[in-house]
Amino acid sequence: MKLTHIDDKGNAIMVDIGDKPISSRRAIAKASIYMKEQTLKAIKDGAIKKGDVLSVSRVAGIMAAKKVSELIPLCHNLNLSSVSLDFKIVDEEKKIDIEATVKCVGQTGVEMEALTAVSVAALTIYDMCKAIDKEMLITNIMLLEKSGGTSGDFKRL
C-alpha cells in the first residue's frame, strides 16, 4: 500500500484533492478520561472552580475541529457543516467517555477533525480539573466510524 502523503522521492506532500468528487463526509471519534471518584463527583456537582467542565470542554472540542489544518501539517482546510460532542459519565469506571461527530460536504474526510475534537475536549477536562487530580488518564482515542469518499465507509467492530 502506497502512502499518499509521501511523493516518489520520499518527501512529505499535501495530497492534491482537486480532482476528487465532492461528497457528504462524516466521522465519529471517541476518547475516554479516567479520574478519581472525587473528581468525577466535583464535575457532576458543578464544584470545579474553573467553571462548567463539560460545557467548556464541548466548546474547546468544537474549536479544535475547526483548527485542524493549522495543527496537523498535511491536513486540508475544510468547511465543516457540523461538529457535535457528547459526554457520557460512567460512574462505575470513574471515567467520562467523549464522542465527537463531524460532518462536511467536500473532497476529503473529517476523521482528523473528529479525533482532534475528542482529544482537545479530554485535555480541557484535564486542565480544568488538574488542581484536584493530576493522575487523570486520557486513553482510547479512536475513530469509530467514517462515511463518504472514494475509500468507502468504515465502522469499528
Q: Report, as residue numbers or ranges, the catalytic residues.
A: 127
C-alpha cell at position 102: 463531524
Shortest CA distance to 144 belongs to which of 11, 22, 31, 67? 31
**125: buried, middle or exposed (CB in 10 Å: 19+, 13-18, 0-12)?**
buried
Query: Phi first, then psi: what are they for 34, rounded to 5°?
Result: -95, 145
User: What is the three-class DSSP state of 100?
Assistant: strand
Strand partners, 146: 27, 154
Q: Determine the Cα–Cα distance for residues 137 and 123; give it in Å rounded to an integer.
A: 10
- Which one-letter amino acid corresponds to residue 38? Q
C-alpha cell at position 109: 474526510
